[in-house]
Structure 1
């Protein structure tokens, strides 16, 4: 569980850090535009990283089903961390001109490829070793690394944002990216010592591995891949709208200070360390469908009050808004997700199925969320359209959950003939 969780901490540290930097510094420093145009350009490269994730999901998912979960997870750990550290030594637009954004995009693509194989492998390490009735809880344990990653990224960025503006823009923003090298060393060392999951060992022993698992899952279980895409939509759209766009909107449109937003997100993310496994555990008790439905209903009802609380500019109310948004609204849907998506597939193609379904959904809906949200408010600051966008995402996820069957009490399947399409 620790080996799984440290990777998701790294993944979400990377991506939250990039989202915060896109909202606060990449516009003027890398693109040379201190305006809405610069923010849009930054969020466009944010989306580019997500666009690369399906490629990583396909390649690394295939390898995860062929050579094992462990080997792939060592590669993703090292790759993610090195890309993040290199972002910390990027030249600026002032010193390198157009080379700066080009290098940013290259690193962002590479980072996205490695991240594409991380979440599925990390959660399968625990889900495939869990008994029915405990997969929601144990699958959520590595997923709670998302909270840890956001805490680290937000806290470190908040600390360096206390520097004088000149120091922050000159070198301070680079420090959080360079710190990631510590996580890389620890995570790679830890993952080298873990064993394979029981499910993969069983398939390997029986010599029943698929030669082309990605093609098999697309041919035999296309419905399951589409369901996984739908299941992840609301979390991606709402989560990244809050964690990336809301920071830019609150600081630039409303005038809330950067430290207030960053520490608010850090505090809310700290609570996620506890709420993600709690919601996963609760889904073991009441079922995945009901748990996710409750979360979607709360998210849809809360989105208008969320922006209203931000617009007050009151520090206490802003922090309260973030606490309701992340550990409650987002995580009621996200907590059961690891187990829910893994339960859709046969063990021989599970890595490929989860990776491709989740990462394609992330590319379409997650990476574009901050860009779309920024474009919808450009010039007006009105958040009604964004609220409608998030509610539509909740409807898509609700449909995806109810198209499939309840799986919380089922055994994980090793045979494609035992799994519905």
Structure 2
């Protein structure tokens, strides 16, 4: 049995406290920016990309748009392999600068792309190329940002520290939803002509701020210790697959529920509510923005709770709540009542989804040894995202079109929760594992 870390953590100097704060901001601001950019694409896929880039506002255009959404996830394992290798070879900090810059450039360029009416077939081709670039960048971002804080965490606080960058996913979606909600209030002709471009172009400011913050941080003590002892793996991914294949599979499984449920809420449900149920776009966007704002508090809380009662217990409760809630969630949307739609989102995202997602950063980091941790987390998480996350809106839309029943979509979510539960209980409780081992 692995004993808890009991290293001394006495009073910190002013300089150490400043470094800690900057490290936390660096991990969080990058995640905010990455997920602002990535979620903008999800919103645009649900609302505008079908007619603009594929020449159709019908179900076929929506499916094509969601297919390009999935392409970004398919590219994420490439980023996971590439940046995971670099993160375990040269350190967490340098990789995080590259992922941020790459994501910002791709998103800004999407904002200036010609549409199908102007460029014909080149419009969706260029969109897909930039979407692949987004996916590669995100494939290395989440693992690096969370390891930056998890590997700096004091004893007994890894769940909380790991959840702080993760809350940037909520903040990023708040920004994306709020900005997209504002531009969607424009007259339809102005929105479809130039208004939708504004949120993509605004990512430039986030990139510049994030790069400034990240240039001033130090490498994590765990990686610095590895370097000093000469235990940096030459081929970390190969070492991971040879020595810890079960941890890679468990990591994939741990992420399934969050990917399926999260992207059904944020992409499919948005399309379903506006196009099938006839709800106003602004109502759904503001409901998602409110729920995502609550994530800023909820995700760290659930991470903190997992430090107290364990990762497995916290995640299991979240999975049970999700299974119990998924059918009522769609029923609340079908009422078309604005207060009930807001309630549906508030219960779905910061409660059900985040009780599973909050402890996830620490939980997946604890699956791997220190010298292969970046590769293990990136590859396991991003392959899970490619298989189950990016495909979720497409699969749900296809299921609904084939059966005409939203119940089959709810059962799809239940299946994802069952797979995650199996993965969580396939390993031991890891909250007390020493992350310095190699």
TM-score (norm 2): 0.94
Q: What residue number does 1:293 align with? A: 316
CA deviation after TM superposition for structure 1 residue 414, in Å? 1.9
User: Shift in Å at residue 73 of structure 1?
Assistant: 0.1
Q: How far is 1:409 from its partner?
A: 1.9
Tell me, yes or no, if structure 1 residue 214 matches structure 2 residue 237.
yes
| 1:365 and 2:388 matched | yes
- Tell me the equivalent position of 2:47: 24
Deviation of the 1:412 alpha carbon? 1.4
Instruction: Work out the CA distance in 1 between the residues paired with 2:137 and 2:35.
Output: 13
- After superposition, residues 152-171 of structure 1 pair within 5 angstroms as 152-171=175-194
Residue 261 of structure 1 corresponds to: 284
Q: Assess if the C-alpha contact under 8 Å between 1:136 and 1:284 holds in 2.
A: yes
Give the number of aligned pairs: 415
| Alpha-carbon distance in structure 1 between the residues aligned to 2:401 and 2:108 | 32
Summarize deviations over 1:76-102 as a string: whole Å, max 9, x none: 000001101111011100000000000
Structure 1, 379-388 or 143-152: larger mean CA deviation: 379-388
Note the alpha carbon deviations across 1:115-135, whole angstroms, 9 max, x for none.
Answer: 100000000011001133100
Matched, 1:405 2:422: no
Conserved? CA contact 2:222–2:436, under 8 Å: no
In the TM superposition, 1:13-412 aligns within 5 A as 13-378=36-401, 381-412=404-435
Instruction: Judge conservation of contact 2:369–2:437 (CA < 8 Å) in 1.
Output: yes
How far residue 390 of structure 1 moved from its aligned partner, in angstroms, is: 0.5
- Determine the C-alpha separation between the residues in 1 that align with 2:369 and 2:151: 11
After superposing the two structures, state which structure 1 stretch, 129-138 or 258-267, moved more: 129-138
Q: Give the structure 2 partner of residue 418 of structure 1.
A: none
The TM-score, its normalising length taken from structure 1, stands at 0.98
Q: Distance in 1 between matches of 2:113 and 2:329?
A: 35
8 A contact 1:231–1:400 mirrored in 2: yes
Question: Residue 37 of structure 2 contacts residue 107 of structure 2 at CA under 8 Å; is this kept in 1?
Answer: yes
**Unmatched 5+ stretches in structure 2:** 1-23
Structure 1 residue 189: Cα displacement: 1.1
Instruction: Tell me how far 1:11 sits from its aligned partner.
Output: 1.7
CA RMSD, Structure 1 to Structure 2 (Å):
0.7
> Is residue 140–residue 280 contact of structure 1 (8 Å, CA) maintained in 2?
yes
Secondary structure of 2:56's match?
Answer: coil
Q: Contact 2:38–2:134 at 8 Å: present in 1 too?
A: no
User: 1:234-293: CA deviations, max 9, x gaps?
Assistant: 000000000000000000000100000000000000000000000000000000000000
The alpha carbon displacement at 1:347 in A equals 0.8
Match of 2:10 in 1: none
Question: 1:413 deviation in Å?
Answer: 4.1
User: What is the aligned partner in structure 2 of residue 419 from structure 1?
Assistant: none
Q: Measured at CA, do residues 381 and 151 of structure 1 come closer, stay the same or move farther in structure 2, by a change above 3 Å?
A: farther
Q: Distance in 1 between matches of 2:266 and 2:39?
A: 7
Q: Distance in 1 between matches of 2:417 and 2:310?
A: 18
Structure 1 unaligned regions, length at least 5: 416-421
TM-superposed deviation, 1:410: 2.2
CA distance in 1, matches of 2:142, 2:255: 12
Q: Distance in 2 between matches of 1:132 and 1:224?
A: 23
Answer whether contact 1:132 1:410 (CA < 8 A) is retained. no
CA contact (8 A) 1:132 1:408 kept: no
